[in-house]
Amino acid sequence: KNQVEQSPQSLIILEGKNCTLQCNYTVSPFSNLRWYKQDTGRGPVSLTIMTFSENTKSNGRYTATLDADTKQSSLHITASQLSDSASYICVVSALGQAGTALIFGKGTTLSVSS
């Protein structure tokens, strides 16, 4: 069964600190992996997309890694800011005969406090 598991479920950090969010998946056949940021009361917004051959990708203070062998991804946030408080959702695309299916994780809720 295609699944995406994220950890931790929630995280509280102080402003300026770094943090790492984890995503483990069992999705086949794998197409790509995206990290989305969802602010409270808003829709998700894509941060990064990674394909099978990519190990790391950065978007400002966000750096995503992908290990296709172990089927793990991480999202590292450096020098956190209050505006980083949001839910971070890992989404894996599976490419099948019927087309592309997206498998969503439950998300990690990050709270950055001053």
Interface residue with another protein among 42, 56, 58, 111 (CB under 8 A) is: 42
- Total site size for another protein, rule CB under 8 A: 19
Question: Of 49 and 68, which CB lies nearer to another protein in the complex structure?
Answer: 49
Give the one residue of 20, 46, 51, 113 binding another protein; rule: CB under 8 A. Answer: 46
Euclidean distance between the first and the last CA atom of the chain, given in angstroms as a whole number: 41
- Cα 86 to Cα 82: distance, rounded to the nearest angstrom: 9
For the segment 47-66, give every residue that binds another protein (CB under 8 A).
49
Q: Which of 28, 106, 111, 113 binds another protein (CB under 8 A)?
A: 106
For strands 45-51 and 3-7, give the pairing: unpaired
- Answer yes or no: are the C-beta atoms of 64 and 73 closer than 8 Å: yes
Question: Is residue 43 involved in binding another protein (CB under 8 A)?
Answer: yes
Whether the CB-CB separation of 31 and 100 falls below 8 Å is answered with yes
